[in-house]
Structures are given as structure tokens and as C-alpha cells.
Amino acid sequence: MEVNVHHAKTHLSKLIAAVESGEEVIIARAGKPAVKLVIVPPVRKSRKHLRGSGIGKLWMADDAFSPETDLEIQKLFEADDPKFENLGKKPPSKKKRA
């Protein structure tokens, strides 16, 4: 079906319904085809935002939560603090005097 601009402005709802039912609608300006009404496909949700989509894509080191790793991280954040100067070092052993 080909209609002029005035008819399209007046009967837009009916033209949309016609396109939805499968009919081809072309709007003409001064008797020459200008635009074609088409159905917009429904938007599908991207699968990358679904739960479980990251399974198998992430990994964690076996020692990620070990005391040594915690100590290393603590050293990185508190390296300049003098009260943590001996952090991670064994305390000096107390020797018995003879």
C-alpha cells in the first residue's frame, strides 16, 4: 500500500497495525516513494548479563587466601608505616643468660 504524507499523518495508527499484520506500507511525498514502514525486531537480552555466564571464565590461585598472601597484601598497604617495620619477620628469640 502506498499513501501520501497527509494520509500517513492522519491514519498512522492504522498504518502501524497494517505493517504489524504483514502488509508493506510506503509513504510518498509528491507522488514519489519516500519512506517504507517496517517492523522493528524485538530486543533480545544479551546472554552475557545472565547468571552463571562467567562460569569457567574466572579462576583463583590456590593460595589466594593463605596467611602468606594476606601478609604480602598487608605489606603493600602498610609498607611506610614504622609500626609495621617488622611485619612478617619472626620475633627475636630470647636467649637465656648463663
Give a yes or no: residue 21 inside a domain.
yes
pLDDT digits (tens, 9 = 90+) for 5-35: 999 999 999 999 999 999 999 999 999 999 9
- 40 with 61: CB under 8 angstroms? no
Give a yes or no: residue 33 inside a domain.
yes
Q: How many CB atoms lie within 10 A of CB 26?
A: 13
Give a yes or no: residue 66 inside a domain.
no
pLDDT digits (tens, 9 = 90+) for 53-86: 777 777 888 888 888 888 888 888 876 666 666 6
N-terminal to C-terminal alpha carbon distance within the chain: 112
Q: What local confidence, expressed as pLDDT, does residue 91 receive?
A: 65
Number of domains in the chain: 1
Q: Specify whether the backbone of 30 is left (phi greater than 0), alpha (psi in -120 to 50) or beta.
A: left
C-alpha cell at 52: 552463571
Domain ranges, residue 13: 2-37
pLDDT at residue 51 is higher than 90? no
Range list of β-strands (E), the chain: 2-4, 25-29, 32-37
Give a yes or no: residue 57 inside a domain.
no
Give a yes or no: residue 8 inside a domain.
yes
Give a yes or no: residue 74 inside a domain.
no
